[in-house]
Structure 1
Amino acid sequence: MSGSNLEIVATHKGRRESLPVVAILQEAWQNRLWFIFSFLSLLFIAHLILRYTTPQYLISASLLIRDDSRGTDFGDAALLEGLGLSPIKSSVDNEVEILKSRALLEEVIDDLQLHVQYFATGHLKTTEIYDKSPFRLRLLQPEYSLTPATYQIELSGINSYTLSTQNQSFTGTFKDSLLLPQGLAILTRTRFEPSHDDKYSIVVRDKDEILKNFANALSVSASNRMASIVNINITDILPVKGEAILKQLIINYSQASVNDKNRIADSTLAYITENLNEVTAELSAIEKNIEQYRSRNHLTDIAENGRLLLHNSDQYAKEANQQSIRLEIIESLEKYLTENPEHAVPSSLFQQENSFTDLAKKYNEIQLLRKKILATVSESHPSMRPLDSQIVTLKADLRAGIIAQKNELKVSIIALNRFTERFHRQINQIPGKERMLVNYWRQQQVKQELYVYLLKKRVETAISRSSTIANARVIDLPKADKIPVRPNKQLVLMMSGLIGLALPIAIQHLRALFNNKISSKAEIVNSCNVPILAEISHQNDFIAEIFHSNKRSIVAEQFRIFRTNILFIAVAQKCQTILITSGMGGEGKSFIALNLSASLALSGKKVLLIEFDLRKPTLAGTLNLKKSGFTDYLISNQNIEDFLQVSGSDYSFHILTSGQEPPNPAEILCFAKVAEMIHAFKKMYDYIIFDTPPIGLVTDSQLLSSYADISFYVIRQQFTFKDQLEDVAEIFKENRLPKLHLILNGTRQLPDYRYSYGYIEKPPNALMKQIRKLKLNSKTS
């Protein structure tokens, strides 16, 4: 029988290990009511969340950003390059960071007054109103760090109002300034009329808080790496407010981009104008120096002046040469006249001097005349004397004229040479003057070119400033989705359903994970190889189930099966003495012993139950029996039959209680009288059941194991620790208890499981009464 049990357990064990999903589904089916309750509860909670959670909408816009690395051109680059100006470089990554910058977000908050919020409180909830608020509060000089406050608005008249907080109130008139703790403010009416059913309030928040919420809700990202399109998204409970925020963000971003370019252009214009004024003053000074230099050196055209000086110098040089030639002629004539006093003077050499020519002609005529006269007369002739006297006079005149002419020519030559030298000096000074003038001209040319360049750049910069455009172009204007993004109804319902189904599984898993006690038969089978002989369901009443023969409950049937298994084992091997123990107290040893004894007695067997739990006896008190028993027998000389008691049921069995509590229970069990007693009982009874103390706590069970034919180890579900299975396996392996079998006590059946296959407990009929009478007669006989 034990071998068959082991085979069944092994088969069951293999089935458990091969089909874990089936086991999980079976466990889930057992707790299906919890699954249904959890599923419906989570769906109900999800419905409440969807009902009372304020929806949030996604507002999106897209911009085309100038990106020079990706070839994005807005048309102004060619214009600026045509003017000789380089366009400002930009990239998508930089512009994305600018769109998310703190400074830009602060400008949007200030422009839209986002730190001031308006709420309307109705009968059920408070709702933020943005564009439909009947009131508008404007802080004239808002500081960055504002004192948070909530003001309740109450109309005290046609044009007056009262703003109140928990501590103070402020009364004012619409469109008039009012001093609040946050600064000077003005409250105005809008075109919307206030509702009489709602209460309106104004909340002033810290800008830093608004900025953090704004930054968390805003998302700026490039669509992909190949394009220069940037997507801007923001989530808000008010679609109109979100659209206004994105519109203002785009406007401020574009204006900031234009302002940056204009600031660069203005700085460039100021620099160019400043340098142009300096260059103009320097150019005027250089031109004035050239004017003074020309006037001082009498220079109109230095090349023409040089040519004129060269011409005059040549003219004077030629004239000086002519005078020198004439001087040489005069000197030759003077020499000729001295060496040839009787010859005629060549008068043709002095054609330009008429007086000298006449004198020379006259001298030559007289010489010719004298020569003619000498041809006829001698030199001593008196007629020669006047001629000689006249020749001497004329010769003296000629010499005087030659000397005068020669002096005149010398003076003239000296004067001409002086003029020539002066012209030469002036000509020699021309390169230096020209160099100075070229230096002046060079300075003038440099300053003039710089002046023209700066003047041109000033015009070009002014033109580029007038044509400045932003670095972005709006592709899609801000637009809110009609369906809210949060809460996602389908997602919330789906997740709630999944959580509702997973929560019981998780709880069961956690309970199993942290549970250190035995919860199923499979755990016993997987931990040790000791065969399980019987399973006893959970029973609240200690003895009420078995002590009546007509009981048809699950527990009664389980004990009948337990009894049948023992009878089958008894066919193959001796099972007269049965030892029942456990690992610790409270696992149901006495319950099993009592009901097993009653069950065996119902089958017509003579049964004796001996309570060997000397330390904590319970049978006498439970069954209302006398306390005297085993220990009293050992210390007395009475017969053992004097201490035997009847269980009191209709199918009674004998009980030997533990008796008085001894000081040394383990030593008492070693007495020889104990062995004699058990030997005597074996002759008197068919079955002797030992109710022993826990083997895991004391050694009494091991001392009594020598008298037992078979041993039952009781394990209680959700009570016995899993670690104790190791002790059971060790006891079974070392054979400390004879023919050890396990009894699983306190099991809880499946909800739809019927142990007796539909048998239910019925009142005993006539047939059952007859069977009962026959059993009593057979027992008596």
Structure 2
Amino acid sequence: MYPNTPNSSNSGQNPFMVQQEDEIDLKVLLFNYLQYWLLILACMIVGVLAAFLFNRYATNIYKVESTVLVVDDKPSLGTDLFESSGLGMLQGKSNIENEIGILKSFSLAEEAVSELNLNVQYFKEGLFSTTQIYDKVPILVSVDWKKIQLVGGRFKIEVISEDTFEFSIADNEFKIYNPADPYYKLLPEEEVTLKKSVYEFGQEIVGPDFTFKVNKISALPGDILQFNLVDTPTLALKYKNELTVGAINKQASILTLGLETPVRRLGEDYINKIMEMYLKRELTEKNKASENTVRFIEEQLSGISDSLRLSENNLQKYRTENKVFNLSEEGAVIFERLQELEKQLSQSELNLKYYETLRDYVANNAAGDIVAPSIVGITDPLLNSLVQSLSEAQAERIRLTSNFTDQAPAVRENATRLENTKKVLQENVNSAISNTRNVVADLKNQIRMSDRDVNSLPETERKLLGYTRQFSINENIYIYLLQKKAEAEITRAANLPKNSILDFAKAGQLPVAPKRSLNLLIGLILGLIVPIGFITVKDFLNTKIEDPKELEKQIKVPLIGMIGRNNAADAIPVLNNPRSAVTESFRSLRADMSYLSSQRGNLTILFTSSISGEGKTFVSINVASVYALMGKRTLLIGLDLRKPKIAEDFNLPNDVGMSTCLSSDTPWQDVVKATGHKDMDVILSGPIPPNPAELLLQDKFGEIVKEIKQAYDVVIFDCPPVGLVSETKELFAFADISFFVFRQGYSMKGNTQILNNLVEKGGVSKIYGILNDVHIDKGYGYGYGYGYGYGYGNNSYGYHEEVQLPWWKRALRKS
């Protein structure tokens, strides 16, 4: 490998080279994760298995749907003029939104739940789960909801015999339902307990906060069942929130009702009941007008019946007493004229009475139901449409205020529409009252003029005409009211809901949940993401040097070489195992020395590190050994006077050494020891002195080094860690080349700053980095013996023992 110099520049790189480097970074990232492929594979299998078990034992949820046709309200004659005029008197109704609000209302849900009697829910225990049963229940629990009951928790029944069962509590999450305050529930002051455990079927079970009976239907001895009590408001609120109502599209007036439930039959029954109560409610609202009309007419009939009976008796009595039965021809003509005028007067007075009642109704802001004008014979289309609009607006307000607050946009819009309708109606009624009074006055004037002709008749005939006239007036009014009552009752009997059910509720054949394929995919993805996330976080929090490429970016000097992990127990693989991959890395480092220094005769090399344990002594020994194998006379000097290690590796006594020479007059030649290998000697550090820093800083050390360089071709300094002691900084001046040793998985990332400070602040030149103990493949082509960037790798051509790549790395290299 040819190292980069500190002054090299990347400014000349072309875009292709930058893109290629980015691609290599992706491969580095991929190799980083592939180291943990077994963990990732195991997590993916666990994720898929967990999803499979969830799918297997999760409760199936089915979608129940039905459709309702909503008939749009057509504007009545006259109301369309106001709606299209832009005056804002009558606002158009959003019929679809109103019907959706009704279907999702709490009151409608409460009515449906009460009709279905869903307050007791039954469950059957299975091996791994408990499922709800609905239609064919083996027991029937009778509850008196007029008394305080425990709701929310769950009771358990185990059938012992044909007549007895064991009663216990399966889930103690109870709340207290009080019928006096049904919408708020309290927690029990203490845990619910049972005084007795065995009961007979049909026997009343009484506790401090519950009272009910358990009746047997088809339960067999050994059956284990559970049930819980749910009050109507809670159930209604639950189903109200779960029911979905929406139009099939924006243009259609067809609503789709949907409910997701684990019990298909229950969902179908509930939606069908909701639609039934919805149509029943609509029909009830529709029949109110007819009922009010009948009530109004009956009130009028009760008064006219007495008058009719009295007038009839008076007429009959007068005829009997005076033996006069028929009017003369002249009297008959006068009678017919008066009869027609009085008939018109009666109708006008009835209309006036209705107008005055309607005026008082509007003026007093009454909220009751009003009679339609057409019922009493008023055919004004505008008045009829205004009364109908007022009635519908009031009914809509009742529906809206039961679900929304007064500040809701729909409620405020309804209030504006109601106020505008009342204003227009009041003006119309006042005008009608004025006109009707004029008509009444005119008719009375005509009657008075006809009364003059009556006075010209004989007294007997005149009195007969009076009795006949009174009877005819009452009879006509009575017959008219009876006719209107019959019409109202026919209308009520013929009323049908304007909306209709298109499709009754039907559950899907396949469950909508759990989504098995999606769950398996989620389990697979989670099994992939979780270990990758764990690895990413672990690497992010890792403070040790792992990646050689990252080390190259962090240090300000070139990274010259990487030394693989020495798996053998021997500390000198270069001499004892010359065909190993570690030995080849030292040969490669020796080859790079010729490019790092211009010295060809004598070469002094210094090795240091940031802390102890990074392998600088191991590197020093083996670099010295690799030079000795070339026939270079090599001397290894141990300068770590505080913690000497070289003696142990060569099995030599550390009795004399460099500390001996520096602290006495002993010549350095006397402390040189043979290593047992040709061309390689060693000067040990010697006995540990009390002042190692002061010894190495003496001028005598420089003189010794000068003499050693003249005697040996290669001199190797094994120095103490520069991050821990200070004297090493002074020793750089004696070396031609210096190396700072890092150890993979051991050296801290922050230690790179020590080397950078030596270069930037300490003025140290000719210093390079070495990564020792490389055994983790963190990148494409960087793991020693696996790549072709450092060392010979897999394609070694017999230079050293070959290392077989894993299958996934061979595949990636081929790609």
> When the two structures are superposed, what TM-score results if normalisation uses the length of structure 2?
0.63
Say if 1:448 and 1:734 are closer, same or farther in 2 by CA, change over 3 A.
farther
- Per-residue Cα deviation, 1:527-586 (whole angstroms, up to 9, x for no partner): 445222111123466753516433433222212222222245456667711122233443
Q: Is the 8 A contact 1:155 1:162 kept in 2?
A: yes
Q: 1:204 aligns with which of 229, 234, 240?
A: 229
Say if 1:584 and 1:180 are closer, same or farther in 2 by CA, change over 3 A.
same
State the distance in 2 between where 1:445 and 1:608 align.
150
| Stretch deviating more after TM superposition (452-461 or 543-552) | 452-461
Question: Which structure 2 residues correspond to residues 75-224 of structure 1 after superposition, within 5 A?
Answer: 91-141=95-145, 146-155=150-159, 157-159=161-163, 161-165=165-169, 167-169=194-196, 174=201, 179=206, 183-190=210-217, 193-194=218-219, 198-205=223-230, 210=235, 213-215=238-240, 217-224=242-249
Say if 1:238 and 1:661 are closer, same or farther in 2 by CA, change over 3 A.
farther
Q: Corresponding residue for 2:87?
A: none
Q: Is the 8 A contact 1:142 1:182 kept in 2?
A: no
Say if 1:186 and 1:195 are closer, same or farther in 2 by CA, change over 3 A.
closer
State the distance in 2 between where 1:162 and 1:760 align.
84
Say if 1:463 and 1:729 are closer, same or farther in 2 by CA, change over 3 A.
farther
Say if 1:471 and 1:517 are closer, same or farther in 2 by CA, change over 3 A.
farther
Corresponding residue SS for 1:16: helix
User: What amino acid is the match of 1:566?
Assistant: M
Q: Corresponding residue for 1:55?
A: 60
Corresponding residue SS for 2:772: strand
Q: Corresponding residue for 1:491?
A: 518
Q: Is the 8 A contact 1:221 1:232 kept in 2?
A: yes
User: What amino acid is the match of 2:681?
Assistant: F
The yes-or-no answer on 1:638 pairing with 2:669 is no
The yes-or-no answer on 1:228 pairing with 2:232 is no
Q: 2:795 aligns with which of 731, 734, 757?
A: 757
Q: Corresponding residue for 2:683?
A: 655
Q: Corresponding residue for 1:297?
A: none
Say if 1:657 and 1:275 are closer, same or farther in 2 by CA, change over 3 A.
farther
Q: 2:42 aligns with which of 32, 37, 40?
A: 37
Question: Which structure 2 residues correspond to residues 370-389 of structure 1 after superposition, within 5 A?
Answer: none
Q: Corresponding residue for 1:366?
A: none
Q: Corresponding residue for 1:671?
A: 698
Say if 1:573 and 1:189 are closer, same or farther in 2 by CA, change over 3 A.
same
Deviation at 1:258, TM superposition (A): 3.1
Deviation at 1:523, TM superposition (A): 1.4
State the distance in 1 between where 2:551 and 2:54 align.
46
Q: Corresponding residue for 2:416?
A: none
The yes-or-no answer on 1:475 pairing with 2:502 is yes
Q: Corresponding residue for 1:245?
A: 270
Q: Is the 8 A contact 2:147 2:211 kept in 1?
A: no
Corresponding residue SS for 2:137: coil
State the distance in 2 between where 1:210 and 1:490 align.
32
Say if 1:485 and 1:552 are closer, same or farther in 2 by CA, change over 3 A.
farther
State the distance in 1 between where 2:570 and 2:525 align.
46
Q: Is the 8 A contact 1:519 1:718 kept in 2?
A: yes
User: What amino acid is the match of 2:795?
Assistant: Y
Deviation at 1:243, TM superposition (A): 1.8
State the distance in 1 between where 2:445 and 2:36 align.
121
Structure 1 or 2: more helix by fraction: 1
| Stretch deviating more after TM superposition (474-483 or 249-258) | 249-258
Corresponding residue SS for 1:62: strand
State the distance in 1 between where 2:640 and 2:304 align.
123
Q: Corresponding residue for 1:336?
A: none
Q: Is the 8 A contact 2:283 2:495 kept in 1?
A: yes
| Stretch deviating more after TM superposition (252-261 or 539-548) | 539-548
| Stretch deviating more after TM superposition (523-532 or 264-273) | 264-273
Deviation at 1:235, TM superposition (A): 1.6
Say if 1:92 and 1:678 are closer, same or farther in 2 by CA, change over 3 A.
same
State the distance in 1 between where 2:135 and 2:287 align.
34
User: What amino acid is the match of 2:276?
Assistant: I
Corresponding residue SS for 1:513: helix
Q: Corresponding residue for 1:257?
A: 282
Q: Corresponding residue for 2:721?
A: 694
Deviation at 1:692, TM superposition (A): 2.6
Deviation at 1:183, TM superposition (A): 4.8
Which consecutive unaligned segments of at least 5 residues does structure 1 have? Answer: 73-85, 289-299, 305-429, 764-781
Say if 1:107 and 1:179 are closer, same or farther in 2 by CA, change over 3 A.
farther
> When the two structures are superposed, what TM-score results if normalisation uses the length of structure 1?
0.66
- Per-residue Cα deviation, 1:717-743 (whole angstroms, up to 9, x for no partner): 333344444554454456722212111
Deviation at 1:673, TM superposition (A): 1.1
Q: 1:681 aligns with which of 708, 733, 747?
A: 708
State the distance in 1 between where 2:97 and 2:226 align.
42
User: What amino acid is the match of 1:536?
Assistant: I
Deviation at 1:518, TM superposition (A): 3.1
Deviation at 1:199, TM superposition (A): 1.9
Q: Is the 8 A contact 2:563 2:773 kept in 1?
A: yes
The yes-or-no answer on 1:578 pairing with 2:605 is yes
State the distance in 2 between where 1:226 and 1:666 align.
94
Corresponding residue SS for 1:744: strand
Q: Corresponding residue for 1:502?
A: 529
- Per-residue Cα deviation, 1:466-506 (whole angstroms, up to 9, x for no partner): 33444642222211122211111111122222333333433
User: What amino acid is the match of 1:46?
Assistant: A
- Per-residue Cα deviation, 1:235-270 (whole angstroms, up to 9, x for no partner): 222222222222222223333333344456545654
Corresponding residue SS for 2:576: coil
State the distance in 2 between where 1:692 and 1:13 align.
39
User: What amino acid is the match of 2:154?
Assistant: T
RMSD: 4.7
State the distance in 2 between where 1:251 and 1:508 align.
59
> Based on CA coordinates, which of the two structures has the bigger radius of gyration?
1
User: What amino acid is the match of 1:116?
Assistant: V
Q: Is the 8 A contact 2:655 2:687 kept in 1?
A: yes
Say if 1:466 and 1:286 are closer, same or farther in 2 by CA, change over 3 A.
same
Q: Corresponding residue for 2:346?
A: none
User: What amino acid is the match of 1:670?
Assistant: L
| Stretch deviating more after TM superposition (497-506 or 718-727) | 718-727
Q: 1:524 aligns with which of 535, 548, 551?
A: 551
Q: Corresponding residue for 1:15?
A: 20
Across the two proteins, how many residue pairs are aligned to each other? 607
Deviation at 1:707, TM superposition (A): 0.8
State the distance in 2 between where 1:710 and 1:656 align.
21
Q: 1:715 aligns with which of 730, 742, 746?
A: 742
Which consecutive unaligned segments of at least 5 residues does structure 2 have? Answer: 77-89, 170-192, 314-329, 335-443, 453-465, 778-782, 788-792, 803-815
Q: Corresponding residue for 1:296?
A: none
Deviation at 1:601, TM superposition (A): 2.7
Q: Corresponding residue for 2:621?
A: 594
Question: Which structure 2 residues correspond to residues 456-467 of structure 1 after superposition, within 5 A?
Answer: 461-467=488-494
Corresponding residue SS for 2:100: helix
State the distance in 2 between where 1:96 and 1:506 align.
46
Question: Which structure 2 residues correspond to residues 353-432 of structure 1 after superposition, within 5 A?
Answer: none
Question: Which structure 2 residues correspond to residues 323-338 of structure 1 after superposition, within 5 A?
Answer: none
Q: Is the 8 A contact 1:145 1:207 kept in 2?
A: no
Deviation at 1:679, TM superposition (A): 0.9
Q: Is the 8 A contact 1:162 1:170 kept in 2?
A: yes
Corresponding residue SS for 2:665: coil
